[in-house]
Amino acid sequence: MNQNNIPNDEQVQDLDGNNQQTNSNNSDQLNPHYYNNENYNPHGAYNPDFNAGTSSYKANPIHQPIQYDETGKQVVNSAQQIVPQSVDSEQEPSLVVEKTSAPATSSKEKKIINIKLFVIIGVAIVGVILVGFLIYKLFFNKHTYVYENFDDTEAFFLYKDDAYALFNEDGEQLTDFIFLTHGEFYGGSARVITLDDQDAIIKETGDYIVEPGETKIYGMYGLYELVDFEKDATKVVNYKGDTVASGSSLLNVDVYASGAIFAVLESESLISSKGTAQIFNYAGKEMGTLDNIEDYDFYSYDGSYATLIGKDKTVLYNIDTSKKILETDGSLCVNDGTDDTVLLDSCSTWGETDDEHLYVVVKDGKIAYTKDSDEISLYLAPDGSIFQREGYSEFYTLLDDKGNPKQENIIGYQDGKNYVVDQDERLMFYKDNVRENIIDCAAYYQNASDKYYIIKVDRYADECRDKIDNQYTYYDLAGNAKSDSFYSAGVFNENGRAIVSTDNLENYVMNDSFEILGDAHYQMTSVGNLYIVWDEKHNQALMDDEGKIIEKTVLDYRSYGTSADEKSYVIVETAENVFALYNSQNGEKIGTIKGENVIMYKHYLLVDDDYYSYKTGKKFFSKN
């Protein structure tokens, strides 16, 4: 609750009366010393733990702010600069904003759900179980999931005078202040309760899918249970209002487990066999039936895939295609997946882990092989190839389709055809499984994009010490040097831009044709596809991705969104209490706003007590 004990969109109440905090986003710095970093990702992306929460930003000429997507998951900013650890940071004053925080959550944390726990909660609220999920993806994983943006919408609720109204991001008010409370939007619909305590399902346009007063509604993240007590009937509808299941009474349709990915419904009236359940995906499409559903107490998910987990058996589903893939023995969680390959591993469920720790590789709907996971880790590449690492070794082994070693001593890779092998302190580059160039005095650093590696000089080899002043060079997949050497070098973003430095005093933006754009700056950091730059006196300015200064004076700055998201914005303070609002995806200036306290939320800016649209830069609502 806020200071006036009035919930608003920054601190929204869900349908159970719990406060939900809206989080904001930032970007993080890469660590060049990846050998000693537990969070190093073999794909070349650095995936540190994150602290999800709205926080004030420090304008820092060296370190870049951590960035999260709209769900609180960290996003590796593709234009981040690699800065040696010996460089000291120096912080500038931060923008005045509200600050909240939440416990750090590991990006590799297993997604395992105890169904029985949610059943208890569900009975207490007549079968309602609310669990929200979005999947964090590796930086170089090109796979796109259908339900990835299932909760994305331009509609939001604002609170005033003990009621909520629906608005859109243009600032248009879509309904009157007529709602007592509301749920979140999934698939463009949300459950609401009117001031006279009538349930309804509303679209993001403000129109109703289910009119108020027709039935009692229990929300299930895009699936809704509608109960008519007078007729002793119930049905389940999806986010479009289409009926996906029905029964003669509430007791015959039980929400056994639900989430943003799938729901399990039990009903003797739907299926005559006792203990058999229907399995639905997030859109309400049936994925088949499952016998002895009471034996499955957990489920896990990652990407398009989910498992229902029993003590002796696991069932694997593709939730996008609504297909059951296979059933197998043991308790297995989803580790990762591509279009035709799923990586499963043993997971702790009932407070204990299976005696036999395994990785299970599923290809084309069948188990290809299993691996003992006590001494190894397996990684799934974007093309479905599997790489194995023993213990804390810095080297990886490419496995064939039967799990046998195909190529060893791999220090870094793009996929199963393009990788770098370290042999006797020499790097051998394989492109399309053919060995190309071999270079000395080099140690693999990371992927700069899907076309380039960043290779650094091996500073510990005596014959190479004369090369350590500028130790980072961009190489193509065949091992050909494509750029000069730099003191520091960054990963290319989706616009093909990276930050590079020649001497840690002059920093530039470079395109992926290795052309320097604009002038040198003392330091710079990316905010979306724009850049905050500093001179030697730490004066700040805002620069676009062509190297052009678009705001000469920046007292402070704040950003929201991800660099790959069209809803990505930055505000810069150009004079005291004067802020310029930019689309940080394309550099478009949206408008100028005056105020003392500016807070960025998912759908709008809150400036003092006034709400401003990101799209127009204009005020559309006031708390007063």
How many helices (H) and strands (E) are present in the chain, helices listed first? 1, 54
Residue of 503, 530, 504, 536 lying closest to 518 (CA atoms): 530
- Distance, in Å, from the CA atom of 381 to the CA atom of 378, rounded to the nearest integer, reads 10
254-258 sheet: strands from edge to edge? 254-258, 262-266, 277-281, 286-290
- Distance, in Å, from the CA atom of 170 to the CA atom of 155, rounded to the nearest integer, reads 9
Give the model's pLDDT for residue 20. Answer: 41
Q: H/E element holding 74?
A: none
Residue of 97, 87, 90 lying closest to 26 (CA atoms): 97
By the 8 A CB rule, do 243 and 270 touch? no
- Distance, in Å, from the CA atom of 461 to the CA atom of 440, rounded to the nearest integer, reads 10
Give the model's pLDDT for residue 426. Answer: 87
Give the model's pLDDT for residue 248. Answer: 65
Side-chain half-sphere of 130: how many Cα atoms within 13 Å? 17
Give the model's pLDDT for residue 74. Answer: 36
The two tokens of residue 63 are 């370190």
Give the model's pLDDT for residue 350. Answer: 58
Give the model's pLDDT for residue 452. Answer: 97
- Distance, in Å, from the CA atom of 277 to the CA atom of 295, rounded to the nearest integer, reads 12
pTM of the model: 0.75
Strand partners, 266: 254, 277
- Distance, in Å, from the CA atom of 400 to the CA atom of 64, rounded to the nearest integer, reads 40
99: number of Cβ within 10 Å:
11
Instruction: Write out residues in the chain with pLDDT < 50, as ranges.
Output: 1-110, 118-144, 250-252, 270-272
CA angle 343, 349, 353 (to 5 degrees): 80
